[in-house]
Structure 1
Amino acid sequence: MKSKFLFFILLISTVSLFGQAQKTDSLSNKPQKENFADDWAALTKYQKENELLPPPNRKEKRVVFLGSSIFEFWKQKDPEYFNNNPYLDRGISGQISPQLLIRFRQDVINLKPKVVIILAGSNDISGNTGHVTNEKIMNNIKSMAELARLHHIKVILCKYLPVYQYPWNKSIEPAEIIVSLNEMIAAYAKEKNYTVLDYWTPLVDERKGQRPELTVDGVHPNLAGYKIMQGVTDAAIKKALKNRH
């Protein structure tokens, strides 16, 4: 009787272990989702597009637009502007200046443009983490500009678009912070002989925010706003290409 009981226990244990093994095998056979937690700067966003991009020909005056949502949404609202020109949009919504710096080699240098347009700072300011200062934003902008010059890429630094209030973070008063950042950008550009692209002046209203008829939310331009940006951008590109530095 005792031996039958032991045999019964052994049989149950064997079936149980076999079931667990099958369960483990079935789990291991499922395709595991790739973990991109280490890609803080979202290098994967444009990686494949960059790999498929042919090198510029001798006459091509390729321009890379490096920034965040302002640039990313621009191509969505006015794709012809980029499709009809040798312009590459490398904007990623929500990115802060250190993320742009990390992407600079992949999304700018390796694409061998004649010109890079750097638009940075607003997301740093709107985050309100308490760790961001205009000086730290400028350090990242300076590093990008220096990398560009080292690789013989003409530099255009943007005076940021006016913002009176961020809809997602109304505790911040960004208008004067952006004015101060723009002054620092202009002074640095003058010192280093970089071209300045002024997005602030043609879009600003009396509150130092964006003119209501040119924006969707006080931060991002609508199509009419982008059309104004297009004019000043093309003028800045022509100026940068003539710049000997």
Structure 2
Amino acid sequence: MKRYLVCFFLSVFLSGCAGFKNRYPSEKKVIECHTDWGKKHYLKRIRKFRKRPLNYGDIVMLGNSITEEGRDWKAKLGVPNARNRGASGDVTEGVLLRLKEIIHFKPKMIFLMIGINDLSNRCSHKAMSSPEYVGYNILKITKKIHRKIPDTKIYLQTILPTSHEFMKDDIDAVNSIIKSNEKNGTYEVIDLNAVFLDEEGLLRSDLTYDGIHLNVKGYETWVDVIKPFLDIE
């Protein structure tokens, strides 16, 4: 009997360890649209997420470098359970692969912004950088989250503008897909793009340090937009 109990608890422990490991992408997985630097940084972030997993009911900031560089979202938003799940260089395929952790811990809210790297990176398959493909993948992310954890509120933020005019049409096309599919009910749109635009339809120069990433004022502006949504139950 004693031997049986030892074997039983050992099997439960080992299955739990395997389940924990499977919540995160394999380090052998290659993501098409990652740059060489992005591939290395993605693995670095995944290792960090493993060491510091989410808690049940967290508020998750999910995205790429623009989210990651927000760093301490707890302090920015003034809530103790805001967690940073940004990964610099990440693309929509990368987010899809790291949804298991998020789905397992059933966040209260998710604030998602992703897609700018898909549009700007030179993917091996050119179609994967098209606005249509990127928009489809963003919708795929929201549908998967909503299907698995329907009680989690998903706030889908439009892709921010950049100071590069050649990217404007593609960004606008993806954001149009985001907005036109809100009626399907899996997410609510927060139109950050409109707030960050200058008179030429590009990223306001007072909110960025390089034409893409945000400065202190840029993050303050972002927080001003999304903070009211934290009070909605």
Contact 2:157 / 2:192 at 8 angstroms: preserved in 1?
yes
Residues in 2 aligned to 1:189 and 1:38: alpha-carbon distance in whole angstroms: 31
Post-superposition offset of 1:183: 1.2
Residues in 1 aligned to 2:220 and 2:163: alpha-carbon distance in whole angstroms: 21
CA RMSD of aligned residues (A): 2.3
Contact 1:68 / 1:95 at 8 angstroms: preserved in 2?
yes
> Of the candidates 55, 58, 61, which is equivalent to residue 65 of structure 1?
61
Matches within 5 A, 1:201-216: 201-216=194-209
Identity over the aligned pairs, expressed in percent? 26
Contact 1:195 / 1:236 at 8 angstroms: preserved in 2?
no
Residues in 2 aligned to 1:237 and 1:182: alpha-carbon distance in whole angstroms: 23
Report SS of the residue matched to 1:89.
Answer: strand
What amino acid maps onto 2:60 in structure 1?
V
Higher CA-based Rg: 1
| 2:179 match | 186
| 1:5 match | none
TM-score by length of 2: 0.74
Post-superposition offset of 1:236: 3.4
Residues in 2 aligned to 1:237 and 1:198: alpha-carbon distance in whole angstroms: 16
Residues in 2 aligned to 1:67 and 1:97: alpha-carbon distance in whole angstroms: 9
> Of the candidates 111, 117, 126, which is equivalent to residue 123 of structure 1?
117
Please, which runs of 5 or more residues in structure 1 have no aligned partner? 1-34, 57-61, 166-171
Please, which runs of 5 or more residues in structure 2 have no aligned partner? 1-25, 32-41
Contact 2:74 / 2:80 at 8 angstroms: preserved in 1?
no
> Of the candidates 84, 92, 100, which is equivalent to residue 97 of structure 1?
92
| 1:223 match | 216
Change (3 A) 1:113 1:79: closer
What amino acid maps onto 1:55 in structure 2?
Y
User: Which of structure 1's runs of 4+ aligned residues deviate more than 4 A?
Assistant: none
2:52 equivalent to 1:49: yes
Contact 2:64 / 2:90 at 8 angstroms: preserved in 1?
yes
Post-superposition offset of 1:145: 1.0
TM-score by length of 1: 0.70
Residues in 1 aligned to 2:96 and 2:186: alpha-carbon distance in whole angstroms: 20
> Of the candidates 133, 142, 145, which is equivalent to residue 145 of structure 1?
142
Contact 1:67 / 1:120 at 8 angstroms: preserved in 2?
yes
Change (3 A) 1:190 1:180: same
Q: Which moved more, 1:87-96 or 1:124-133?
A: 124-133
Post-superposition offset of 1:208: 1.9
Change (3 A) 1:238 1:144: farther
Post-superposition offset of 1:82: 5.4
How many residue pairs end up in the alignment? 191
Residues in 2 aligned to 1:203 and 1:73: alpha-carbon distance in whole angstroms: 17
Change (3 A) 1:214 1:85: same
Change (3 A) 1:75 1:102: same
